[in-house]
Structure formats: structure tokens, C-alpha cells
Structure 1
Amino acid sequence: MAHPPQIKIAATYMRGGTSKGVFFRLQDLPANAQVAGPARDALLLRVIGSPDPYGKQIDGMGGATSSTSKAVIVAASRRPGHDVDYLFGQVSIDSGFVDWSGNCGNLSAAVGPFAINSGMVDPARIPHDGVVTVRIWQANIGKTIVAHVPVTSGAVQETGDFELDGVTFPAAEVRLEFLDPAAEEEGGGGAMFPTGQLVDQLDVPGVGSFKATMINAGIPTIFVNAEDIGYLGTELQDAINGAPAALARLEAIRAHGALRMGLIAHIDDAARRQHTPKLAFVAAPASYTSSSGKLVGQNDIDLLVRAVSMGKLHHAMMGTAAVAIGTAAAIPGTLVNLAAGGGARTAVRFGHPSGILRVGAEASEQDGQWTVGKAIMSRSARVLMDGWVRVPGEAT
């Protein structure tokens, strides 16, 4: 029996923040994958190595974690005032679907460098030495991200001394501005707080009833108090990810929060919407030892945050969830703000399993509605490999 040969597709494997993924130029994809639909999803699943019942993604580019099972498609933008359109796909590891419902804030740091390297930014705007401002249209959520990318000798600077907890080696700093980060989500009407409340009582049958701040900013996120669900807020991955009952409990809270936020129509829909919303739990600052063995002191941070991504406790912090944290911290009365000590603030330092992250946001209230003009944080990015990925012909 004859089998079709493998095909090769131009691609770049990049780290952005504490994530990594396979980046494509839209024009380099097979014709049937240049538009949204089953053909595109099937291709990306095969590239990443999913669905994999073994949970290892051995036969693909994925790394068997939510942070490394990602794909990005970038195209020159036709939208005025923007350089590129950026589309993010979170590829399920053990199931055959790609979740397009949200952004990846970490990989957002790699989009600007990728755009410059791919010739999508006007060469006249690239200095010999300096910083290039790349305006990115985030197509998943319909928002603008501004990336400030360092350039040396006319090329993207990737090496440097900027250290990011959760990433082993230092690199060049890429500063990101997430403009008007309140997410335009179905059911939320674009409201930052889709329920109209800073804090709700979330009832989860069979689990309990919890105070919750549910916010659309960066990515839809449900915040609960760590102590209310039996945690300290200092937990590392092994304390939770090896406990199926704990993960099921957290997923039940996330699913009922998604329903309350209007993101799904039925509780069963949450199983196919794993990327959004995120669930995070917060606590007042306390000292702990990070996953790298580094001591995080109580006085080094404003609060503790742990977040769940794609059914597992994240090893650091999702960039989009960091935007949600910064936004919620800037609004007095949210659970995040209260965990940080309450009051007005324009930036927050929070402890996550890998260390510390700082994010800034400025909030304002008018006629009872909260708005945030932008959230700011720094990440780094680096090309790991570029060339072609290969997939069996039947994958396209």
C-alpha cells in the first residue's frame, strides 16, 4: 500500500517568556490551512504531536506541557496602525482539538522579533542600534499589543542580561504593552467584570462555595482565595499535579466559573474550552522556596499567585494571566487587590512557583465601570531553531 511522503513547511521554533511554540508565516502554510477550519487544526495537531494518549508528544514538536504545546500564525496586517496579525492556538496534548479562545501572553514577546526577522516590519523603521516598536493585532481576542524589541547592528538582539524567573538563561528584554486589556468575550459584552461584581459567591456542586473575582483582562480569569480551597499559595507543581482528585476539584471550579462568566452555555462545554478561562488562587505574601531552589522572601513580593493552565498547575505564570493579575490588583476590592494588602496601586510583584514577576496596570473608574488603558510587563524571547517542520502528507 502506497503512503504519501512527508511535506515540509517553513517554520521557526521560538521561546517567548516561559513558553515556547512553533511559529508560521500564514503564507507558508498549505493553502487549505491558510483559513480557519478542520484542515488547519489537523495540521497543527500533527506538527505538535497530538492527540497523544501517552501524554508525551514524542512524535511532534510539543513538549508535553501546556507551556510547550503551542502554535502561532503571523501575517502582515491590513489593519491600519498595525504591523502584523497574530493568531495563537493552544494545542491539546491528549485530545484532538486546538483551542483558539484566547491569547498567549508569553509567546506575545516572540511575535515582534519573529515579525522583524520575517521581513514584516518596514526596514526603514529598523535602526542600526536601538528599539523597534512593533504593533501587533492579537486576532484571538481583538486587542492591540505593542512590543518594544531591542536591535543591535540592524538585527534583533536576543542575548542580554535580563533575567526572567522560570527561564534558565538570561536574554534581551522585550517590553510589552497590552492596550485596553479587557477581553472581548462572548457573553461578557466586553465588560471587565462580566457578572457586574468585583467579588461573587461561586457555588460549585459537590465541591463548595467560594468567593471569586471573575475578570476579563488579558485572558478571562477566575481568582479564588487559596485558603478557601485548602491551599497556602506557596505550592509547587508536584504538590498538585500528582493528585488527580485535586485537579478534578480545580477543574470543577473553573468550569462553573466559566458558566457564571457566560463563556460557555453548558457545564459540559468546559471540557472543549481548556485554554480559557484560567483559574488562579491568591494569598498574602509568605516566604517559600521556588522550583529552582531560590528563596522568595515575604518582603520581596506583594502577594502569592498560583494558576492552572490546561488542567495542570503552571510552572510559572501565563503572561495573559499576569495581565489579569496586574489589572485586578489595581482595582480596590478584588480578591487579588485584597491579597496584596488593598488600596490603590499601579504595579504588583507576585510570587509564582518559579519565582517573582512584576506587572503594572493603571485602572480608572467612571460611572461605576472600571477600565484599564494598558498593562505592562517585560519578557524575553529567542529563536531556538528555524527551517522546516515535516508532517506526513495525509495531515494536510
Structure 2
Amino acid sequence: MKVPNPLPASFLRGGTSKGVYINRTRLPVSQLLWDPIFLGIMGSPDPIHARQLNGMGGGVSSLSKICVVGPPSQELRSRFPGLDVTYNFAQVGIRDGAVDYSGNCGNLSTMIGVFALDDGICKPKDSSLRKDPKTGATTATIRSFNENTSKLVDTTFPVRWKDQTRSWIPVLDLDQASLAGVPGRASQIVLDFLFPGGAGTGKLLPTGNAVDMLRIDTPSKTGLSIRASLVDATNPTVFITSQDLREILGLPSDSTPIDHSNPDVVAIVEVIRKTGAVRMGLDPSLQAQPKIAVLSPPSNAGVEIGVHAFSMGVVHKACPATLALCLGVASKIRGSLAWDLVPSSQTRDPNSLVNLQHPSGVLTVGASIDANGEVLSAKAVGTGKRLMTGSVWW
């Protein structure tokens, strides 16, 4: 098929990310033909300036993303009754020409249902419509299938009936929720990843262990070891502690702050991430997966875990949603590094929420785990905003 240029698309904020959303019917059937289109849309590669001025990207990983949304195949409808849409997430490289389809984006997943209704890909089922007895607002739930991880994701958000079009319209400007790192308040969007374990590797604990020892070599020392929890829920992630990282860095005490943006620190964290990737059975050359986060004891009351997350080789200004969700799950895994940081009263409660302190504020996540230790769902609250709809040149 001949892909139009410019290409119809929407530009949306989901959580703490922004991205371009495209109806799958407007793209070639073969995913192998998508890369040059997505690179053109984002303005990549930009090896010298890394600003993506020739495209929609913003020079950082959280602004260089694309979601492709479409109707489910008959085979998927048969496998998952009630499925509304499918989507594929692409992380577009900034300096290079890489397009990574290996994982999902929790932030942009927040707006999959909204885009699907706006673009007429699906309609909410009557059974998914609920009325809040306190506010009177009606919400709809859209069930999507993420093709990157083969996982189901529900998004629930306010809607209103529009008589002119005889359809339900997403409402995003209600004064319901705030999100750390995003100014103002907006409608609450509940993101629910169903059975999120093994999204990238097929196992919640790819090595079978709550904690592994990773042997690493730095430019100045060889044969070092560091503890890591290798957890795969919503997206595979390597978790380490600030205390252990300080020892690797040779910092004198727990009171010495870590400059997570320091190039030397970033380089060592990347070595740890790649080593963890190999242990998880993943390709260490892919920057998008697994992600890595440094965990620390909370510095504020009402917070359980401090987290500095890294994405595409750069320390994140907030926390990727899928990483936060994975951390929420990790906090329920007995013996993991996250488990050790959370008060025992919460770890024992399979449905308790965990407050995460990241550089831009606090994020609350939850995980539901049954008596056998199976993760039933991972939840987070987000917000989103329509920024533009029209056509994008590639």
C-alpha cells in the first residue's frame, strides 16, 4: 500500500510521556516497513545535535514514542472475549536509527482507549460503562492487547454521551487527579495490566531468584559484584540499591549523595543493566529493555521506596510507568530488594498500595497477587491530554 505523506495521526500526552498515535489501517500490513516512516515522523537519526528538530521528537526518550492502534483480529477476539483494540508500541532512537518494539510504554498506554474512541476504532461496551455514585461521572473501560508483550491492558476513564454523533466521547479535563511531573489536574485514567508477569521473558522471575549476584567490570576495577532483583512484570527491569551502587562507585558513606546524571555513574549503571539483561535471557544491545532502577530508603514520610530510573541510557526525570508497575509487583515478591524496603505490614497485604518517590514527585502503584503468588494485575493512576490531531509529515 502507498502510505500517505502527510499521514493522519494524533499527538497526545499520556502520563509523563508524549507520542504520536496512528491508526493501524493507515500503515503497511508488514511491520518491517514501519521503521523509515517512524524515523521520519520523529526526526531521527540526529547523531550530532540529538534534538530531533526535523520531527515530532523532543530529544529525550519520553518524547520519542509512537503507538499504532487498530481493531483486533478475529483470532484475538476468539482468544480474548471482550477485547476492543490492539496496539503496538515503538521506541524511536534519537541519535541512531533504531526503532525498538521489544517492550511496552505504560505512560502512552494510558491514552490507548481514548485514542481508540476518538478515532472510531471501537465503541465502549455497555457492560463496561459505570456511573460514579459520588460525582455522577460515567466511566468506560477499553480492553486492549499489547502486541509487544502479548498482555491485556485495561484503561478506564470518564466519558460523556454526544447526541450529534451518537457516541461516547472521552472527557479529559475533569478536576480529578494530579500526576507528579505534570502541571495541573485532569481526569483520572486508571491503567490496569492484567496478568503482567513474564511480559518480556515469559517468567516473573527469569532466573528463578528474588535476588541475584551480578559480576561486573568497570573501567577502573574488574571482578566486582552487585546484588540485583531481576523482575519481569509489564516490562523486564533490573533493580539495584543505592547502598550497593555506592560501594561500586567507591563513595564513602550512605550520606554521600549519588549524582545519577554523572556520565561515569550512567556508564556503570548501563554495564549493570546489560549484565542483568544477559541473565534474564534478553539482548543486552537493546537499550529499551530491560530497564534499570536504583532503589533507596524513602526520604519523606508516607513514601515506601525512593527510585531513580534510567531509560535509554539516561536518568529519567520522573519514572516510566511500566517500571513503576514492575516495582509495585517486586515489592510483593518475598526476599526481593524492593520487598526489603517496604514495611512488613504492607508486604503481607497482597493488595496494598506502594508510594514511590521519584525525582519529580510521588507515584502510587498497586499489585494484586493471589495466594499462590501469581500476579493478577498491576495498577496505576494517570492522566492524559489531547495535544493535536491532523496529519504528520514523514
Q: TM-score, normalised by structure 1?
A: 0.86
1:179 to 182, 191, 194: 194
Kindly provide the amino acid, as one letter, of the partner of residue 174 in structure 1.
Answer: I
Aligned pairs for 1:131-280 within 5 A: 131-153=139-161, 154-161=168-175, 162-185=177-200, 188=201, 190-206=202-218, 208-230=224-246, 239-241=259-261, 243-264=262-283, 270-271=284-285, 273-280=286-293
CA contact (8 A) 1:330 1:347 kept: no
Aligned to 1:115: 116
Could you say if the C-alpha distance between residues 235 and 182 of structure 1 is closer, same or farther in structure 2, counting changes exceeding 3 Å? Answer: farther
Cα separation, 1, equivalents of 2:64 and 2:125: 35
> Aligned pair in 2 of structure 1 residues 124, 233: CA closer, same or farther (>3 Å)?
farther
Q: What is the deviation of 1:63?
A: 0.8
Q: Gaps spanning 5+ residues in structure 2: where?
A: 132-136, 162-167
Amino acid at match of 2:155: A
Which is bigger in relative contact order (C-alpha 8 A, separation at least 6)? Answer: 1
Deviation, 1:110, is 0.6
Change (3 A) 1:163 1:235: farther
After superposing the two structures, state which structure 1 stretch, 99-108 or 115-124, moved more: 115-124
Q: Following the alignment from structure 2 to structure 1, what is the Cα–Cα distance between the partners of residues 101 and 233?
A: 17
* In 2: Cα distance, 1:233 partner to 1:167 partner: 30
Q: CA deviation at 1:122?
A: 2.6
> Secondary structure, in 3 states, of the residue corresponding to 1:300?
coil
For these two proteins, the number of residue pairs brought into alignment is 356
Higher mean displacement: 146-155 or 110-119: 146-155
CA positional deviation for 1:15? 0.3
- Cα distance in 2 for partners of 1:233, 1:220 equals 30
Task: Using the TM superposition, give the Cα deviation of residue 123 of structure 1 relative to its aligned residue in structure 2, in angstroms.
Answer: 6.1
Query: CA offsets, 1:160-200, max 9 Å, x none?
Result: 22100011121111011100011343xx4x21101110011
Q: Give the equivalent residue in structure 1 for 2:138.
A: 130
Structure 1 gap segments, 5+ residues each? 1-5, 265-269, 287-297, 392-396
Letter in 2 for 1:160: L
1:121: how far off?
Answer: 2.0
**Partner amino acid, structure 2, of 1:173:** Q
Structure 1 residues 111 and 349, CA gap change in structure 2 (3 angstroms): same
Deviation at 1:341, TM superposition (A): 3.1
Checking the alignment, whether the CA contact within 8 Å between 1:16 and 1:106 is kept in structure 2 is yes
Contact in 1 for aligned 2:199/2:235 (Cα 8 Å): no
Tell me if the contact between 1:233 and 1:305 (Cα under 8 Å) persists in the aligned partners: no
Q: Is the 8 A contact 2:102 2:148 kept in 1?
A: yes
Q: Which amino acid aligns with 2:315?
A: L
Matched, 1:352 2:358: yes
- Give the fraction of aligned pairs with identical amino acids, expressed as a percent: 35
**Helix, strand or coil at the partner of 1:251:** helix
Alpha-carbon distance in structure 2 between the residues aligned to 1:165 and 1:320: 15
Q: How does 1:40-119 map to 2 (within 5 A)?
A: 40-53=34-47, 54-78=49-73, 79-80=76-77, 81-119=82-120
Q: Which secondary structure does the structure 2 equivalent of 1:337 belong to?
A: helix
TM-superposition CA deviations, 1:256-286 (whole Å, max 9, x none): 000011112xxxxx23x11100111111111
Matched, 1:315 2:280: no
Task: State the AA in 2 paired with 1:220.
Answer: P
Partners of 2:86 and 2:116 in 1: CA distance = 10
What is the CA–CA distance in structure 2 between the aligned matches of 1:120 and 1:90, rounded to whole Å?
23
Aligned-partner residue type, residue 170 of structure 1: R
Aligned 8 A contact 1:233 1:283 in 2? no
Cα distance between partner residues in 2 of 1:233 and 1:350? 20
Which residue, 373, 376, 383 being the options, matches 1:373?
Answer: 376
Give, in whole Å, the separation in 2 of the partners of 1:150 and 1:213: 37
The alignment partner of 1:305 has SS state of strand
Aligned residue in 1 for 2:393 = 390
Kept in 1: contact 2:40–2:393 (CA 8 A) = no
Asked if the contact 1:235/1:306 (under 8 Å) is kept, the reply is: no
The change in CA–CA distance for 1:358 and 1:194 in structure 2 (over 3 A counts) is: same
Q: Secondary structure of 2:204's match?
A: coil
Contact 1:280 1:307 in 2 (8 A): yes
User: Residue by residue, what CA displacement relative to the aligned partner does 1:275-304 show, whole Å, maximum 9, x if unpaired?
Assistant: 100111111111xxxxxxxxxxx2120111
Give the letter aligned to residue 304 of structure 1: G
